[in-house]
Structure 1
């Protein structure tokens, strides 16, 4: 066997074969192939910026919602752990207002 010819051919072939395998796996799992991502160029940046803006807005909304829920949980924990007579007094004090 002529290893002097086989080794360079295998060494040169590894890159393209790995690229094809990578794109096949990406396509199989629903991701965009590598070649299309590269060709998109600047247009992809605008879409990316919009996506970051949408995610930032959603993050702010969810952070506010978590804060409100934490406050409600704190009130419920206080009600559950306080003695019954103290809770009753506070409720009566609120009714008297």
Structure 2
């Protein structure tokens, strides 16, 4: 019985090791950092191009966060207008018109 199981176990182990080797080779080929046993980068890239890319992405992220904040404010105003009764909306419009005059 064991003589029938060992070839299957050996085949599974060989396929797993070959898959790991191919995955590692593809990561190296395409410039992805290798990962250690706990997911940390083993050889992270730290060239000038990568640092500049991180700076640009950080700036873009800050701009998008600011834009998202303003969109949230505008959406809150639209929700307030939609959920308010027509009477209070009319009253606010009239108050704004009287302030303009």
> TM-score w.r.t. structure 2 length?
0.57
Change (3 A) 1:65 1:45: same
| Equivalent position to 2:62, from 49, 54, 60 | 60
Q: CA deviation at 1:78?
A: 0.5
Change (3 A) 1:87 1:61: same
Partner of 1:94: 96
Q: CA deviation at 1:89?
A: 0.5
Runs of 4+ off more than 6 Å: none
User: What CA distance in whole angstroms lies between the structure 1 residues aligned with 2:97 and 2:51?
Assistant: 52
Q: CA deviation at 1:33?
A: 5.2
| 1:34-45 correspondence runs (5 A) | 44-45=46-47
CA-atom RMSD, angstroms? 2.9
Gaps of 5+ in 2: 1-16, 33-42
> TM-score w.r.t. structure 1 length?
0.59
Q: CA deviation at 1:65?
A: 0.7
| Equivalent position to 1:77, from 72, 76, 79 | 79
User: What CA distance in whole angstroms lies between the structure 2 residues aligned with 1:88 and 1:73?
Assistant: 20
